[in-house]
Amino acid sequence: MATVSDYGAFTEKFILPPSSSHPGLALNSLTFAIKEIFDVKGSVTGFGNPDWARTHPVATSTAPAVEALLNGGATCVGKTVMDEMAYSINGENIHYGTPRNPCAPDRVPGGSSSGSAVAVGAKLVDFSLGTDTGGSVRVPASYCGIFGFRPSHGVVSTSGVIPMAQSFDTVGWFARDPMILNRVGRVLLQLPEVVPAVKPTRIIIADDCFQLSSIPHNLVTQILIEAVEKLYGGDVLKYEILGDYVKARVPTLKHFMSNSHIDQVYNIPSLAALSSAMRLLQRYEFKNNHGEWVSTVKPDLGPGIAERVSEALKTTVENIDLCHSVRGELRDALTALLGDFGVLVIPTVPGPPPKLQTNTSELEIFRARAFSLLSIAGVSGFCQVNIPLGMHNDLPISISLVATHGADGFLLNLVERLYDIIKEEVAACFQ
């Protein structure tokens, strides 16, 4: 196990040297860590649970995403703590401990890629790999004050990665600065190193989504607005009530709409319905992937995880076809909204990281609001990046940009170009 000086981020330390020492490689001299969901030849892939590690053999090959980074010149230094079976966005693991959030030690680090985010945030490595199914890169990136990138669904190989729910599984990555985020992305996405920067055709602020957040609306959006105006002018900025747009253009969502009027202040009905469809399909695919193992082994699972796994095992095929229809309709709707080079601006999460050991019922309310935001990119399969905006009331705050499926290189370039100006605006805002 990791020591206190590691912030509890690692489950296993080792050195996988780069495959080549050629001086021109994009990731030369950089170190990285990987979530304990990636195969490494000769090592058991633990999936965040000791019963899983006990009942599975050592991997016979290394995941292609890890190989690509080694081929790019980077050195892997170990595996990191994750939530059990990737089934949480919290980051607390009763078996291996909870990695310590470097921004806020009394708060959760976010999951399920908790250790990977902490390793970057604590400057133990230059970048790290995680996976993002429901939000497991974006959430810990926000909580730990770093960049986190969820790529377009299907563009980075998930071979050699234990599946959670294949309709949503992606290999994502963390970094402390946008240049390294971009360099890692170009290796994983197999993009040219130098691509001309394309001006965004529109940057759309989803006004209603910011009402889901406890962070003051103007605080986060104004920083981005000022940066965009300086770089591209104000004409590129647009505003949208995303919930109304989605409701009008994703007709199948009506099957997932709730009749409840409870907590309407913190609820956008169409996005809550989107979250319901996403989580139903996730449960169904999780059951197909791991239901037999869970039923046979009866693993020791922590609080929250055990309940979600039990619920998944009860899932039937009912309404699964509707979930797939929602995915297609949402992708078409958001493609029409953004075009090839548009960007949607939303909060990454509905507020700062919850305190450690917050009671389950309180966390579930926060989790429900979070998934209303996280399901936008999750269901559409679009790419999304978390951008850290510094600290507010001693807690990290952030914002997210979402771009159309396949626009990953464009989004990485945009963030790198914007961030120096964003830093200036952050400094002016908090001085």
Sheet holding 383-392, edge to edge: 10-16, 75-80, 31-35, 127-132, 170-175, 147-150, 383-392, 395-403, 342-346, 202-206, 237-240
For 191-244, give the DSSP string: --S--PPPPPSEEEEEGGGGGG-SS-HHHHHHHHHHHHHHHH-GGGEEEE-HHH
DSSP secondary structure letter of residue 58: P
CA 352-121-305 angle, 5° bins:
60
Residue with tokens 């001299």: 29
Q: Quick check: 151 and 188 in contact, CB under 8 A?
A: yes
Beta carbons of 75 and 31 less than 8 angstroms apart: yes
Which of 82, 79, 92 is CA-nearest to residue 49?
A: 82
The length of the chain in residues reads: 431
Distance CA 131, CA 349 (A): 17
Residues involved in catalysis: 35, 112, 136
CA angle, 250 then 255 then 260, to 5°: 110
Rounded Cα distance, 59 and 162, in Å:
11
Residues with Cβ within 8 Å of 125's Cβ and at least 6 positions away in sequence, in order, are: 31, 32, 33, 77, 119
Distances in Å between the Cα of 270 and the Cα atoms of 287, 322, 375 are: 26, 15, 11
- Provide the 3-class DSSP secondary structure of residue 346: strand
Which residue type does 247 have? K
Structure tokens at 191: 């993009």
Q: Tokens for 421, please give them.
A: 């100006």
Question: Could you tell me the two tokens for 5?
Answer: 């000086």
Question: Of 70, 8, 7, 6, nearest to 38 (Cα)?
Answer: 70
* CA gap 217, 346 in Å, rounded: 11
Longest CA–CA separation in the chain, Å: 61
The residue type at 300: D
